[in-house]
Amino acid sequence: MCSEKRKCIIAEDNGLNLAFTIAHEMGHNMGVNHDNDHPSCADGLHIMSGEWIKGQNLGDVSWSRCSKEDLERFLRSKASSCLLQTSPQSLSSVLVPSKLPGTAYTADEQCQILFGPLASFCQEMQHVICAGLWCKVEGEAECRTKLDPPMDGTDCDPGKVSHAGCLA
């Protein structure tokens, strides 16, 4: 972003998990190191862990204290001034979606994105949908998950939609 060597990300589109990959790589672009580089933060539970195991701690898909310190150091440095530079053209080309993605893709369709055309939402896991989207693949006995939450806007409880948890 602000450096000739740190302005590009190439990532495989592997479904909803791509959001975590983008957050991790954007962290690198802003000078955030792996948590494993800081002994006090090498617990493997945060976005910048080099060994982060998705779902090991569902409530902690966040930045570690060390990542926050690295980011703050970058933002206080002269190098961050590039974030203030915008071209008039870039400001007019930002498109904001008019609706949340979960209103465009049902839980069944999200399961198909994650696991293929034979997948559908696993109804018996409805009670934990905001923590992770569970899917039933035709021909398999057990429901499966990649431990990604559903897209924001997905119906989760009667009268509620997901948005970083279930909201009324």
pTM of the predicted model, to two decimals? 0.51
The pLDDT value recorded for residue 117 is 93
* Strand, helix or coil for residue 140: coil
The pLDDT value recorded for residue 92 is 58
The pLDDT value recorded for residue 104 is 87
pLDDT tens across the length of the chain (168 residues): 666 665 677 776 666 677 778 888 889 888 899 988 988 887 777 888 866 555 555 545 788 999 999 999 999 998 888 888 766 666 556 565 678 888 889 999 999 988 899 999 999 998 888 778 899 999 999 999 887 788 888 887 766 777 665 554
Q: Could you tell me the CA-to-CA distances from 28 to 7, 51, 55, 60, 93 in Å, in that order?
A: 10, 15, 22, 19, 25
The pLDDT value recorded for residue 18 is 78
> 28 labelled as ligand-binding?
yes
Check 4, 12, 25, 124 and give the catalytic one. Answer: 25
Residue 122 amino acid letter? C
The pLDDT value recorded for residue 97 is 65
The pLDDT value recorded for residue 72 is 96
Give dist(CA 161, CA 150) in Å, integer.
10
140: annotated active-site residue? no
Q: Could you tell me the CA-to-CA distances from 63 to 39, 132, 165 in Å, in that order?
A: 15, 19, 18
> 24 labelled as ligand-binding?
yes
